[in-house]
Amino acid sequence: MKKTFAFLSALLCLGIAAFTIADFPETGISNGIIEAKLYLPDANAGYYRGVRFDWAGVMPSLEYKGHTYFGAWNPAPYDPKLHDAIMGPVEEFTPLNFDEAKPGEQFVKIGVGVLTKPDDKKYSFATNYEISNPGKWSVTKGKNQVAFTHELKDETGYGYNYQKTLKLVKGKPQLVLEHVLKNTGSKPISASTYNHNFFMIDNEPSNENIRIVFPFDVKGEGKGFGTIINAKGKMLTYSREVAKGDQVFSAGLLGFGPTPKDYDIRIENTRTKAGVRITCDQPLEKLVYWACPTTSCPEPYIKIAAQPGEEIRWKVSYEFYTF
């Protein structure tokens, strides 16, 4: 009797756990070449409820020709409000009005909402700032695309209509991130935005099988450069695996020029012969690089600016391939 009860209890626990894992709002997209899954913004049940990254476009999986490109890279215990409890080609905007705001006053992060500044400390992406105005999210789902809209109106004077569409291109192994930002407030918007690119190509650790390729001769300094990772010619290559406790970080790789042609980055797994090419219709402002044992992340920054009433657009493209 006790064994039967224990068995039933175990089944019940597994059922609850499975329900919890599958209970995040989500949707899938496909163009017959690429299959991908996305988690949807939701203040109460969403997979990601942190205040660092834009809530639109969290992508736990993408498959092409039997190769996988994203996954759960973070070994920390899952917490929806953890700043990097997130997956996929996710983006962050630098905060608006943070330095001018006094403790107790508000500042804005596009794709998140209006946050409260708690003290005089410098901005930290790891701080779980309180959301005072989350704005309004809406989602339009299609077979091969998902369109997210975030509307914000606030007493700070900032307001915007932000539209982000993740689209799989018909007949091509390509994912496009289309952005439209209209300034609906009374204050100008000026910020930087970047994609963190949490790639895990075929779950390969950050090691000698992973390389990052640029269209220019790249130079890099920082933690792990020259020991764990090397910048030589047009490539970043690892001299050994990034072990637990290692840190690889450059605050700014050098070598790119002022035109969009240098926003052209390839990440390749030379063992499984799978890669991805990242391009944008905007020039690079800055190029950060970060890696841990499970993911290697070029972080390309661009500058955005919109006066009140102005609408701006930009596009980031991902082309998946084998070689």
CB neighbours of 307 closer than 8 A, spacing ≥ 6?
A: 183, 188
CA distance 22 to 71: 15
CB neighbours of 306 closer than 8 A, spacing ≥ 6?
A: 160, 181, 182, 183, 188, 189, 312
Q: For residue 202, is pLDDT > 70?
A: yes
**Contact at 8 Å (CB) between 146 and 7?**
no
- Distance of CA 131 to CAs 34, 103, 106, 134, Å? 35, 14, 9, 6
Residue ranges covered by each domain of the chain: 2-322
- pLDDT tens digit string along 138-197? 999 999 999 999 999 999 999 999 999 999 999 999 999 999 999 999 999 999 999 999
CA distance 236 to 266: 10
Instruction: Provide the strand spans (E) within 104-158.
Output: 106-109, 113-116, 131-133, 136-141, 145-153
**Contact at 8 Å (CB) between 248 and 210?**
no
Q: For residue 67, is pLDDT > 60?
A: yes
In the numeric block, which tokens belong to residue 218? 């790249």
**Whole-number pLDDT of residue 248:** 98
What average pLDDT does the segment 37-50 reach?
98
In the numeric block, which tokens belong to residue 116? 């409260």
Q: For residue 50, is pLDDT > 80?
A: yes
User: What order do you get walking across the sheet with 131-133 strand by strand?
Assistant: 106-109, 113-116, 131-133
CA distance 217 to 25: 43
* pLDDT bracket for residue 123 (50, 70, 90): very high
| Domain range 2-322, CATH class | mainly beta
pTM here is 0.92
Give the rounded percent of residues in the chain with a pLDDT score beyond 90: 92
**Whole-number pLDDT of residue 4:** 43
Please count the CA atoms within 13 angstroms of the CA of 208 that sit on its side-chain side: 3
CA distance 297 to 304: 22
